[in-house]
Chains A and B, each alone.
Chain A
């Protein structure tokens, strides 16, 4: 049994009696401890897929099973980083993280929660900003607080929607390494679903890449990433295999778009 099974998932959005199919018959599964990246062009339904996994949205058809049980709403087994940073503006960075910890760990005292929060804020490089409110932080900093919160909650499953999208290149590299390190050293390993636009990021981080295509959102390809761990970024990107794999992904990515354009030409 897989950790997460996505079965024939269809999601329609209805607005003013018009229905739009964001996801159509999406199926794939994720093993326990697996790191899976979801890539695809903008609007192909990546965030929609995650919203179902998070339990804040319900599918029109199909289902998702976690540990063999159908998802019904949100759960403490999943930590979430939204695409659009989602801190509580009335709490400082530290309180935001500690609030998340409190929801999964009721027995920890306030000082214990603050200690864990500080530890994770240090890890994402925000030690000097613990007592700042979100309105006093940049977008990328707010996203790092949200990442710290999700990591500090120490859940079985991590659902991350373009978590590094708004973060500068240097911090992005640091955070990628941090995420890999935390994931590789945890026993048992966490199951991660990671949405990204960045092909290099997906190769560096994941065991499996799910490529999606738009209109309607479907799974286009599933690919295993054939590189040993631990991966060294600097060495890996220089290897022939890496570039071959990367080009393969890129050609798939563009052939999907080419298919679409070709298809439309036939229609015209």
Chain B
């Protein structure tokens, strides 16, 4: 039988494509993270050493849920780097849960009152769900109010001070001085002067954000290249256009550095501010239950704070990436 040469070639090409698809599939779905999932699942069936209820089924449901989510998302993420990042994070969570399960429920290596098994934390989270939601709302509300208010004041003020050569250098030193004071010391003054505890928290977040954003904006404005200002000048731009269409975008990167600092400090402060006297919020939730020795709820609170911070930072970074997309 005579097989035409081009058919052989086509068949070869076909097997080549086939094997490429296969390696692509393997790369996408055969990852260490899924091995970790299997380990996590299997160790749940070891006998418990801890005598109290360990809520093993909650860990299993959580792990299965995350695994399904991971497999589905793996099909949608195009970039290898993003896929790696995603599976690394999931792998980290699995690893943590493995260690946690073994150290608590299975081998009881840690003090059970301080270190509840993961199943119990998940169970607590679900039974406290609505309470937690209210506290998230309260905390995020305070952060957003204080933070956005600070941006609304600090950025225009920084633009103005940085642009005015004379006030600028004095303001730099003053803001360095005032910015170096940890905002937590303002809390007693806030409590003395402001009507509600909520307004004290907003005030503290405001101050924590205000100084770094002001300093970042001023240094951004003062470092705008002369070339940029000259090209705006020869176009005869008005004062307002100069400020908001030229100086502002030109200093945006430095402004974001200040905003980032402000955000980090805000998170740290929010929980500490709420721990002092608030009746709601995540800081209050954590403080309240750790005072009562309920460390399961304390850990739930800590995890929720962590998740909220990650989500807010993610949104913040997306905004920053979008606004600075013109930088290569």
Whether B228 pairs with A75 at a CB distance below 8 angstroms is no
Quick check: is B51 within 8 A (CB to CB) of the other chain? no
Quick check: is B328 within 8 A (CB to CB) of the other chain? yes
CA distance A104 to B241 in the complex (A): 13
Whether B234 pairs with A89 at a CB distance below 8 angstroms is no
Q: Determine how close the nearest CB of chain A comes to the CB of B283; give it in whole angstroms.
A: 38
User: Given A80-B234, A103-B235, A103-B236, A135 and B328 touching (CB < 8 A)?
Assistant: yes
Which residues of A lie under 8 Å from residue B246 when comparing CB positions? 88
Whether A135 pairs with B327 at a CB distance below 8 angstroms is yes
Quick check: is A169 within 8 A (CB to CB) of the other chain? no
Quick check: is A45 within 8 A (CB to CB) of the other chain? no
Which residues of A lie under 8 Å from residue B250 when comparing CB positions? 88, 90
Please report which residues of chain B, range 273-328, place their CB below 8 angstroms from some CB of chain A when the two chains form the complex: 325-328
Majority-rule SS of A interface residues: loop
CA distance A153 to B234 in the complex (A): 12
Q: Determine how close the nearest CB of chain A comes to the CB of B37; give it in whole angstroms.
A: 42
Please report which residues of chain A, range 180-225, place their CB below 8 angstroms from some CB of chain B when the two chains form the complex: none
Q: Determine how close the nearest CB of chain A comes to the CB of B221; give it in whole angstroms.
A: 15
Contact of A82 among B231, B236, B245, B252 (CB under 8 A): B231
Q: Determine how close the nearest CB of chain A comes to the CB of B320; give it in whole angstroms.
A: 13
User: Given A84-B227, A99-B245, A89 and B236 touching (CB < 8 A)?
Assistant: no
Majority-rule SS of B interface residues: helix
Quick check: is B49 within 8 A (CB to CB) of the other chain? no
Q: What string of 1s and 0s marks CB contacts (under 8 Å) between A91-119 and chain B?
A: 10000000110011000000000000000
Q: What string of 1s and 0s marks CB contacts (under 8 Å) between A64-102 and chain B?
A: 000000000011101010101011111100000001100
Whether B326 pairs with A89 at a CB distance below 8 angstroms is yes
Whether A88 pairs with B327 at a CB distance below 8 angstroms is no
Q: Determine how close the nearest CB of chain A comes to the CB of B248; give it in whole angstroms.
A: 10
Q: Determine how close the nearest CB of chain A comes to the CB of B159; give it in whole angstroms.
A: 15
User: Given A76-B236, A100-B235, A56 and B230 touching (CB < 8 A)?
Assistant: yes
Contact of B249 among A84, A88, A134 (CB under 8 A): A88
User: Given A100-B235, A103-B237, A86 and B227 touching (CB < 8 A)?
Assistant: yes
Which residues of B lie under 8 Å from residue A89 when comparing CB positions? 326-327
CA distance A130 to B215 in the complex (A): 36
Which residues of B lie under 8 Å from residue A90 when comparing CB positions? 249-250, 252, 326
Please report which residues of chain A, range 11-47, place their CB below 8 angstroms from some CB of chain B when the two chains form the complex: none
Quick check: is B18 within 8 A (CB to CB) of the other chain? no
Q: Determine how close the nearest CB of chain B comes to the CB of A220; give it in whole angstroms.
A: 28
Whether A82 pairs with B235 at a CB distance below 8 angstroms is no
Which residues of A lie under 8 Å from residue B327 when comparing CB positions? 89, 135
CA distance A87 to B235 in the complex (A): 11
Quick check: is B131 within 8 A (CB to CB) of the other chain? no
Whether B234 pairs with A136 at a CB distance below 8 angstroms is no
Residue of A nearest to B232 (CB): A88
CA distance A87 to B231 in the complex (A): 8
Q: What string of 1s and 0s marks CB contacts (under 8 Å) between B202-233 and chain A?
A: 00000000000000000000000001101111
Which residues of B lie under 8 Å from residue A136 when comparing CB positions? 328
CA distance A9 to B207 in the complex (A): 53
Whether A135 pairs with B326 at a CB distance below 8 angstroms is yes
Quick check: is A162 within 8 A (CB to CB) of the other chain? no
Contact of A75 among B227, B236, B237, B245 (CB under 8 A): B236
CA distance A90 to B231 in the complex (A): 14
Quick check: is A133 within 8 A (CB to CB) of the other chain? yes
CA distance A263 to B78 in the complex (A): 71
16 examples of A-B residue contacts, CB within 8 angstroms = A55-B234, A76-B236, A82-B227, A84-B227, A86-B230, A87-B231, A88-B228, A88-B232, A89-B326, A89-B327, A103-B237, A104-B236, A133-B325, A133-B326, A135-B326, A153-B235
Cβ-closest 7 pairs across A and B: A86-B231, A80-B234, A135-B328, A90-B249, A133-B326, A90-B326, A103-B235
Q: Which residues of A contact B (CB under 8 A)?
A: 54-56, 74-76, 78, 80, 82, 84, 86-91, 99-100, 103-104, 133-136, 153
